Amino acid sequence: MIGNFVGGDFLLSNSENLARVTNPATGEELDQVVLSTAEETAQAIEVAHQAFQTWSKVTPLNRSRILFRFKALVEENLDTLATLITVEHGKVFSDAKGELIRGLEVVEFACGIPHLQKGEHSRDVGSRIDSHSMMMPLGVCAGITPFNFPAMVPMWMFPLALATGNTFVLKPSEKNPTLSLKLAQLLQQAGLPEGVFNVVQGDKESVDEILFHPLVQAVSFVGSTPIAEYVYSTGSHYGKRVQALGGAKNHMVIMPDADLDQVTNALMGAAYGSAGERCMAISVAVVVGDETADQVVNKLSAALDKLNVGPGYDEQPENDMGPLVTGEHRDRVASYIQSGVEEGAHLIIDGRDHPLAYTSNGFFLGGTLFDQVTSDMKIYKEEIFGPVLCVVRVSSLQEAIDLVNAHEFGNGTSIFTRDGACSREYTDQIQVGMVGVNIPIPVPMAFHCFGGWKRSLFGPLHMHGPDGVRFFTRMKTVTTRWPDAGRVAADFVMPTMK
């Protein structure tokens, strides 16, 4: 049974609410996770609140030293952690290692907190009056994270929360809960005091307790748009600071002058890597001109014939794409493929026909490719979150821009072109939070901010980078005067700095 980590101890919930944890490559049940009650979630929050009283007084330099040791421990255990991700999630081993490395980049950024949390100072804002700002910790912060990145997404959140002096309660996905406990164990080994980082396994009951509990000051969330909107509206209603990242429908615009071999390789990785279970996956290729579109579809068809699909832990050679996370999610993706056929899209490659799809105990689909997709189709409008790529044909760059801007999501996008003026026009006009030029998945480095626009993000502050520091701190401004001598007379008018 998989349980919680609270106050430095592994605790098993008393709840009778259980969820299966399976190996997506085999369908085998690995374990069961006990989903905590609201009372047990509240207990973890209260433990974190008590720990905040002392942790918030630890100097930023000493907090960063613990994170330095945590980083080293994760690197020492990289293969073990990556194997755990592969077994519970299904992604290939190299992708699991890549996820951990990208998460560690945020840890590295957070280690610079003595500089990042300095605040500002102004001398002589008035006669012998100085002002300075202090970036103060909030208290108990919580993270609610999805199944697709069990390491990276939590590491977008808790390193900065801990570095800035907050305590943290993590509610990971019940589909792959074990990695969160391993991270908690490594934090403790690095010297993090008991109660500063806690893990609560749970479902909506735990989420609601986090959103309702008065001691929780901030909530960071990544998941689907309907849940993100619920988390944002509910948490905000209860006076919490909330950043909630939702869904995506990421477009890659392909101009006629682009290097189409480069485009093909980029699309294969961006659309089918991690079985498309990424919020930054490219799921729509917007091709300018029918001649270019024909070439792109032909090259993708040939590349898909060579796509190696299988268990994520095969080593010789490693597969390109593993299974989807559950059988239910595989069936959901398959239903989208059927919807595309029924709505009149041209199905070039059907992932349901892959030899492993529905013939093994694993949750496999092959890569799927649609052509002649239009903006009124369900497979275009909705986030599929699977290995399905839609090709939409347009006649001009402006038509491509208008198409992307009309979509409800604005998470990530890219353009492939050799034309600098075309690139500048696209990056200026596009209403999307993260933009790549000849880069298919434009995920920013940790010292920049991650986040989309429109219905891909609820809340004003993005993940990591400077916004991450701002999210986990509140500003306090101190104005000071030290008069030379004598008493200062009472002043009954609005004070001004003359």
pLDDT in tens, 140-179: 999 999 999 999 999 999 999 999 999 999 999 999 999 9
Percentage of residues in the chain with pLDDT exceeding 90?
93
> For residue 468, what pLDDT is reported?
97
Q: Where are the domains of the chain?
A: 4-246+456-478, 250-437
Task: Quote the crossing angle between the two packed helices 60-76 and 93-110, to the nearest 10°.
Answer: 160
What is residue 10's DSSP assignment? Answer: E
pLDDT of 15 above 80: yes
Assigned token pair, 89 = 């999630």
Nearest partner of 264 among 293, 288, 221, judged by Cα: 293
CATH superfamily to which 250-437 belongs:
Aldehyde Dehydrogenase; Chain A, domain 2 (3.40.309.10)
Burial label, 231 (beta-carbon count in 10 A; 0-12, 13-18, 19+) = buried
What's the pLDDT at 360?
84
Instruction: With residue 413 as reference, give the H or E element that holds it.
Output: strand 412-416
Q: Evaluate if residue 390 carries a pLDDT over 80.
A: yes
* Distance separating alpha carbons of residues 408 and 381, to the nearest angstrom: 8
Single out the residue of 270, 267, 170 nearest to residue 221, CA to CA: 170
Cα dihedral sign, 480-481-487-492: negative
pLDDT at 486: 62
Contacts of 493 (CB under 8 A, 6+ apart): none
Across residues 465-478, what is the average pLDDT? 97
What CA–CA distance (Å, rounded) separates 266 from 292?
A: 16
Report pLDDT digits (tens) over 240-295: 999 999 999 999 999 999 999 999 999 999 999 999 999 999 999 999 999 999 99
Closest CA to 163 of 141, 148, 132: 141
Whether 436 shows a pLDDT value over 90: the answer reads: yes
Q: What is the pLDDT of residue 316?
A: 60
Instruction: Round the average pLDDT of the chain to a whole number and report it.
Output: 96
pLDDT of residue 493: 74
Percentage above 70 pLDDT, the chain = 97
pLDDT in tens, 210-246: 999 999 999 999 999 999 999 999 999 999 999 999 9
Name the nearest CA neighbour of 393 among 338, 345, 425. Answer: 345
Cβ neighbours for 388, distance < 8 A, ≥ 6 positions apart: 271, 276, 283, 333, 336, 337, 340, 351, 368, 370, 379
Whether 165 and 137 have beta carbons less than 8 Å apart is answered as yes
Q: Yes or no: say if 387 and 367 are a contact pair by the CB < 8 Å rule.
A: yes
What is the distance between the alpha carbons of residues 88 and 322, in angstroms, rounded to a whole number?
Answer: 12
Peptide linkage before 466 cis (omega within 30 of 0)? no
Q: How many CA atoms lie within 13 A of 423 on its CB side?
A: 14
pLDDT value for 497:
60
Tokens of 451: 């986040």
Question: How far is 125 from 136, CA to CA, in rounded Å?
Answer: 22
Name the pLDDT band for 185 (thresholds 50, 70, 90).
very high
Average pLDDT estimate for 397-407: 98
Lowest mean pLDDT, pick from 15-19, 185-189, 191-195: 15-19
4-246+456-478: what fold? Aldehyde Dehydrogenase; Chain A, domain 1 (3.40.605)
What single letter denotes the amino acid at residue 178? Answer: T
Residues in the chain: 498
Look at the alpha carbons of 262, 268, 274, 279 in this order and tell me if their dihedral is positive or negative.
positive
Burial of residue 252 (number of CB atoms within 10 Å: 0-12, 13-18, 19+): buried
By C-alpha distance, which of 414, 387, 453, 454 is closest to 251? 414
Per-position DSSP letters for 123-167, written without gaps between them? EEEETTEEEEEEEEE-SEEEEE--SS-TTHHHHHHHHHHHHTT-E
How many CB atoms within 10 Å of residue 141?
28
Q: Is the pLDDT score of 498 beyond 70?
A: no
Average pLDDT over residues 355-373: 95
User: What pLDDT does residue 409 have?
Assistant: 98
DSSP structural state of residue 319: P
Find the catalytic residue in 111, 279, 390, 449. Answer: 279
Determine the pLDDT at residue 335.
98
Q: How confident is the model at residue 483 (pLDDT cuts 50, 70, 90)?
A: confident
Comparing 100-114, 268-282, 303-317, 329-343, the range with the smallest average pLDDT is 303-317
Per DSSP, the three-state class of 54 is: helix
Banded model confidence at residue 494, pLDDT cuts 50, 70, 90: confident
- pTM over 0.85? The answer is yes
304 vs 496, higher pLDDT: 304
Least confidently predicted of 124-133, 225-234, 315-324: 315-324
pLDDT of residue 448 exceeding 80, the answer is yes
* 180-205 mean pLDDT: 98
192-200 mean pLDDT = 98
Query: 235 and 196 in contact (C-beta within 8 Å)?
Result: no
Q: Can 279 be counted among the known catalytic residues?
A: yes
pLDDT at 488: 62
